Amino acid sequence: MARFRSQFPELYSKLPAFVELTRANKPIGIYLLLWPTICALWIAEEGFPRFSLLVIFVLGTALMRSAGCCVNDFADHKIDGKVLRTEGRPLATGTLTRKDAFLCFAVLCLISFGLVLLTNERTIILSFAAVALAAVYPFMKRFTNLPQLVLGIAFSWGILMAFSAATGDVP
């Protein structure tokens, strides 16, 4: 860690803010996404899923939830500073920039894509829709009275991907 700190001092100083941006310190959102996805794996595999798929989906779920938090704060950076619950978030306080949030989103998506490449073609195709849903949800709050519908689809998309990875098909 000392070597990382000396080679990348600016990034190192921002690590706590990136933890907060990605909500890595608040894992409840990961659990909310993970349970339906893991249940879908169990059902699709008709029992304990392959360990490789379990690892791919646990890591992918955690990474994409964090990516979703980045894009949400990117979209809401002006609003978050005016809301008591969100006024301390890194973009609202200026600790991180919108560019930082976008780059974090992109890096997390790329790592997640690396994981999904270990599955099959159908799951890879489904992953593009997953990223699109994660990216558009925060902006839907401005265009519709039902942004939760998009959020619900995004939260459920892991079920389709899990079935696809396990069986090559969707339910």
- In the predicted model, is pLDDT for residue 51 greater than 90? yes
Q: Please count the other Cβ atoms lying within 10 Å of the Cβ belonging to residue 83.
A: 11
Mean pLDDT of the chain: 95
The rounded distance, in Å, linking the Cα atoms of 51 and 8 is 35
Whole-number Cα distances in Å, 156 to 9, 68, 77, 84, 87: 39, 14, 26, 29, 29
What confidence tier does 10 reach under pLDDT thresholds 50, 70, 90? confident
Q: What is the DSSP letter of 12?
A: H
- In the predicted model, is pLDDT for residue 2 greater than 80? no
Q: What is the per-residue pLDDT across 89-118, written as a single tens digit (0 to 9) for each?
A: 999 999 999 999 999 999 999 999 999 999
The pair of three-digit structure tokens given for residue 131, joined into one six-digit string: 């990223």
pLDDT given for residue 12 in this prediction: 84
pLDDT given for residue 69 in this prediction: 98
pLDDT given for residue 3 in this prediction: 78
- Mean pLDDT along residues 43-57: 97
Q: How many residues make up the chain in this entry?
A: 171
- Mean pLDDT along residues 61-83: 97
- Mean pLDDT along residues 117-140: 98
Number of domains in the chain: 1
- Mean pLDDT along residues 35-56: 97
pLDDT given for residue 73 in this prediction: 98
pLDDT given for residue 9 in this prediction: 83
pLDDT given for residue 8 in this prediction: 80
Tell me the residue type at 52: S
Give yes or no for a contact between 29 and 63, defined as CB atoms under 8 angstroms apart: no
- In the predicted model, is pLDDT for residue 4 greater than 80? no
**HEC string for 75-119:** HCHHHHCCCCCCCCCHHHHCCCCHHHHHHHHHHHHHHHHHHHCCC
Domain extent for 66:
2-167
pLDDT given for residue 123 in this prediction: 99
Q: What is the per-residue pLDDT across 134-157, written as a single tens digit (0 to 9) for each?
A: 999 999 989 999 999 999 999 999
Phi, psi of 111 (to 5 degrees): -65, -45
The rounded distance, in Å, linking the Cα atoms of 86 and 78 is 11
The rounded distance, in Å, linking the Cα atoms of 56 and 114 is 10
Q: What is the CATH number of the domain that holds 71?
A: 1.10.357.140
